[in-house]
Amino acid sequence: MSKVYIYKGFERFWHWTQASLIMFLAVTGFEVHGSYSIFGFEKATEYHRIASWMLIGLLIFAIFWHLTTGEWRQYIPTTKQLKDQIKFYISGIFKGEHHPTQKTELSKLNPLQRLVYLGFKIVLIPLTTTSGILYMLYKTIDQNNLIVIEDYPLSGIAFWHSMGAILLMIFLVVHVYMTTTGKTPTSNINAMITGYEELEEEEHKIENENIQNHETK
């Protein structure tokens, strides 16, 4: 067991800002959608717009950070031990088994996380932001000037934007719950707050070796 500095300062800032922005966007967005009334439609759209520009700004920084630090490699998908990971969440976790994969500074994500987060980054976020930007720019310029965006129906844009929002909400529920499956229910969240996490390097190594030995036998 050793305390490892696993989440860097920017990473934590990015994670929590993005989380709060997405939740705020959800609250205001579903109000614009007509699901309920909290701020009133006018304020809701105004806040939604402001928050969306903040999120877009944050995403640009995050993309830059991922590219320059090479952290994007964390999300290269793998099928290795993917089944084990799924099996762990379905049954192993109840039997008190350990995580089948090892968390290290160089490989923070288990194969399931890699796959889900990659989908989040290259499908869910682009889908929601692109449709959101199209929604925002819809009918930008009136008939007296050039019309940039006119001929696609708003219902289509709204459909994909709502789709993104719904999937994000489902992601949020599962993601928040999954944070409780660490060593203790709060160890993962603590790590994302402080940056440090106690990783069971030794035990895992031994265990992994045992498995490998067992397999070779």
Nearer to other proteins, 74 or 190 (CB): 190
| Contact flag: residue 166 with other proteins (CB under 8 A) | yes
CB of 106 vs other proteins, minimal distance in Å = 25
Nearer to other proteins, 106 or 177 (CB): 177
Q: Which stretch binds other proteins (CB under 8 A): 69-77, 86-94, 120-128, 207-215?
A: 86-94
| Contact flag: residue 173 with other proteins (CB under 8 A) | yes
| Contact flag: residue 158 with other proteins (CB under 8 A) | yes
Residue from 50, 123, 148, 211 in contact with other proteins (CB under 8 A): 50
Gyration radius of the chain over CA positions: 21
Concatenated DSSP letters of the chain:
-EEEE-S-HHHHHHHHHHHHHHHHHHHHHHHHTTS--SS-HHHHHHHHHHHHHHHHHHHHHHHHHHHHHSGGGGG----TTHHHHHHHHHTGGGGTPPPSS---SS--S-HHHHHHHHHIIIIIHHHHHHHHHHHHHTT-S-TTS--SS-SS-HHHHHHHHHHHHHHHHHHHHHHHHHGGGSSSTTHHHHHHHHSEEEE-HHHHHHHHHHHHHHHH-
Amino acid at 155: S
Nearer to other proteins, 64 or 159 (CB): 159
| Residue with the two structure tokens 């989440």 | 7
CB of 181 vs other proteins, minimal distance in Å = 8
| Contact flag: residue 94 with other proteins (CB under 8 A) | yes
Residue from 49, 98, 121, 204 in contact with other proteins (CB under 8 A): 49
CB of 58 vs other proteins, minimal distance in Å = 13
Nearer to other proteins, 45 or 102 (CB): 45
Q: How many residues are listed for the chain in this entry?
A: 217
Nearer to other proteins, 47 or 75 (CB): 47
Q: Which of residues 112-151 bind other proteins (CB under 8 A)?
A: 139-144, 147, 150
Q: What are residue 142's phi and psi, to 5 degrees? A: -85, -175
Q: Which residues bind other proteins (CB under 8 A)?
A: 32-34, 37, 40-42, 45-47, 49-50, 89, 93-96, 139-144, 147, 150, 153-155, 158-159, 162-163, 166, 169-170, 173-174, 177, 180
